[in-house]
Amino acid sequence: MPTPLPRAKVKKNQTWNAESVFASPSQFDAEVKSVLDALPSIQKYKGHLGNSVDTFIEAMSAMDALEQRATKVRVYATMSSSVDANDEQGAAMNGKAMSALAQVGAAASYVEPELLSVGEAKLRQWIQSDARMKVYEHFINDLFRKQAHVRSAEVEELMGMLRDPFGTVRNTAGLLANADFKFKPAKNSKGKKVELTQSAFDAILNTADRKARQSAWENYNDKYLESKNTLASNLTASIKANVFNMKARKFNSALEATLFNGNVPVEMFHNLLNIFKKNLPLWHKYWKIRRKALGVKTLNPYDVWAPLTTKTHKVPFDKAVDWICDGLAPMGEEYVRVMRKGCLEDRWVDWSPNAGKRQGAFSTRVPSDTHPFIMMSYTDDVGSMSTLAHELGHSMHAYYASRAQPMVYYTYPSIISETASNFNQAMTRAHLLKTNQNKYFQTALLEEAMDNFHRYFFIMPTLARFELETHQRVEKGQPLTADSMIELMADLFSEGYGNEMNLDRQRVGITWGTFTTHLYIDFYSFQYAIGISAANAIAKRILDGVPNAAQDHINFLKAGSSKSPMDVYRVAGIDMTTTQPIEDAFSVLEEYVDRLGALTGK
């Protein structure tokens, strides 16, 4: 593994175009001040929303404009802090942006309780009599759906103000892991040191050198174990914040509160976990195939990402863009053109690994006056290509939704978001499996597919089970400790691994500590599995030649949150209120497992 570059040494064409958002940090600071100075422009409508349609439209337009500006501020601040955790200016900007967003939210918090007091009858009469109100019909429908859980204007303002301090625990987890943690170097099979950083960790786990994988995995998890009590206290604070919100809004459970807010049936959560547990033997089968293909007596967690062949397939960034665009060709010329230009000309992607860069990858949700941005560490392999395809799916979702919807609808719910990303991967994978029949390349593609399903159909449902249990314990007033959470996590992984994996209970058990983003967004993890299920169902429609299937998917992307999540899925031509798409996705997984077993002769 090469030593990660200092951030200052990364080539400009490998960085995202931050200057297209704000030309400089000073311009950012000026905009933050301007946003805060503009708060009276939305507060002046307080107590007047029911005066007339004109007043309501003016107020909503003013809030839309201010939220766009605050979102742009947040995007820019995220860019600096994500690519260099040691950038103190970036950390400061992140804090300013979070505070500004919270203040905008607090300033607009009167809207829902005031509209409830205006009354459903009057608002529906406005919708019938004025065409300008039609766009707000779903917003008003959803507001009255949530009526029993909306509090007074005073309480709602307080809840809005709490967003900032409650959000601090997530920021703390990220700073601890990405800025403060310095990992002991790994050692390869020749005894040479390999620098271990957040951005290099995944790449080391994907190498054929088992000694390097083992020492990297052990050193990485040991660092989290050193801070297990701090991490446990921090995560517990986040869970308690969720339980506080549950009680303040008069729900029966934190799960119900979260899913009700997103208009997601609670049954979907439990159905997923039941189907997952039913299919655990399929994962046991995969571990056995992998163990035999690697030729090891005992499989260890650090072997999950090991390559199954000695043949390597170098995929430079430009080649990955070509293959992804070829795979998404059925989506039409505009979709492919926007995506290609974003990667190769407009610098959507910050893709070079560098020291201080946070682990993983993400794509920003953006207002319509800028474009999406992707952070990742690209390492010239099939896995990196897959990650790029995934994040470009998020980016195209943000691109279409932000340009088709007002701000009130552009931030599509999390249950929807993982569909567009996994769809891009499914389409790219299907194209390459069909067009490149080389046995070793097919093996590499199927390994990538299994890595993806492992994350979304194994890790994420396991985290969801962990989330449910820890939230229920807090709801009952039971304590959470680092050791109790480690034991719970180890037990859950033990079920998933069966008898095919050596279980290092401490290092596997601290897995919850390593997820410094997902577990701080309450009950987000299970939605990844819903997303990959829906994505494969949509891809199948397009690949099977269903008429207008591609346009259905683009309409799905454009819909944002202008309909309920289940209705947005219907726009794409699928019904996610049934368990069939989840069952079908496990059938896809089974096909991949069997094909991989045949290719490896195991």
What would the pLDDT profile of 393-432 be if each residue is shown by its tens digit? 999 999 999 999 998 898 888 889 899 999 999 999 999 9
Number of other CB atoms surrounding residue 144 within 10 Å: 15
Residues 6 or more apart from 99 whose CB is under 8 A from it? 164
Q: What are phi and psi of 358, to 5 degrees?
A: -70, 155
3-state secondary structure of 350: strand
Question: Which pLDDT belongs to residue 310?
Answer: 80
Characterize the bridge pairing of strands 193-194 and 186-187.
Answer: antiparallel
Low-confidence ranges of the chain (pLDDT < 50): none
- Euclidean distance between CA atoms 124 and 135, whole angstroms: 12
The closest of 95, 63, 223, 232 to 165, measured between CA atoms, is: 95
Q: C-alpha distances in angstroms, 333 versus 162, 459, 545?
A: 45, 36, 17
Strand ranges (DSSP E) for 109-197?
186-187, 193-194
Provide the 8-state DSSP code for 197: -
pLDDT at residue 304, rounded to an integer:
96
Domain boundaries, the chain: 9-166
- Buried b / exposed e over 293-328, threshold 16 CB at 10 Å, is bbeeeebbbbbbbbbbbeeebebebeebbebbbebb
Q: Residue 284: which residues within 8 A CB-CB, separation 6 or more?
A: 497, 498, 499, 500
**Spatial separation of the C-alpha atoms in residues 75 and 16, rounded to whole Å:** 12
Q: pLDDT value at position 591?
A: 95
Q: Domain 9-166 - what CATH class?
A: mainly alpha
Q: In whole angstroms, how far apart are CA 328 and each of 17, 325, 399?
A: 24, 5, 16
DSSP state of 310: S
Whether the full predicted model's pTM is greater than 0.75, yes or no, is yes
Rounded (10°) angle between helices 382-404 and 414-435: 130
